[in-house]
Amino acid sequence: MNQPFVTRSAPAALIGLVLLSACGNQDPPADRSAPTPATAAETPFAIGQMAPDFTLKDTHGAEVKLSAHRGKAVIVDFWATWCAPCRLVMPHLQELSLAYPEQLAVLAVSLDQDPASAVPPFAERLGLTFTLLADPQGMLVARQWGGVRNIPTSFLVDPEGKVVQRWIGVHGREEYEQEIRKVLGLPG
């Protein structure tokens, strides 16, 4: 007896969703090599600690320092252009950056091997206007943030500079927004 298409394809769809929930940064597509691991050891890191500060250059060459955003909530997102789940998160981050322009900064740290050539056309294609950064040391900043192993991995930093939330993989905009509103003291 033939099973309905939905029943036969449901396990395959579930497996596909699980695989797409996050990309391991060690496993980019075969035509790209993995970001070069930094030589620095991973820093012990936990939610509730002060966010490890960093200074990176954005896609326009300007230096951006995390601590310069004190007083705002900040999403620090580790991602890459070749990562399908990362591409699903980007529109959520764009919407949130527009919804809270004075209260939220989005700093997206690209772990692409050549972000200078990969990120600008990607950002233009998606209409991204939030801050896109490149980690020139491969994954040095990601290691300082506890050794990001899967992307996208996003952290929420409160206005005082403490890390209050970590998301791994794809999450709905509402989930991000609920936590942002909490740290900003806005009604849910």
Catalytic annotation, residues = 83, 86
Residue 109 CA: distances (Å) to CA of 75, 152, 153, 170: 10, 10, 10, 16
Angle between helices 115-126 and 84-99 in degrees, nearest 10: 60
Dist. CA 142–CA 153, nearest whole Å: 10
Query: Cβ neighbours of residue 114 under 8 Å, at least 6 residues apart?
Result: none
Q: Which residue has the tokens 């794809």?
A: 170
Residue 173: closest CA among 88, 77, 92, 100: 92
Dist. CA 45–CA 153, nearest whole Å: 14
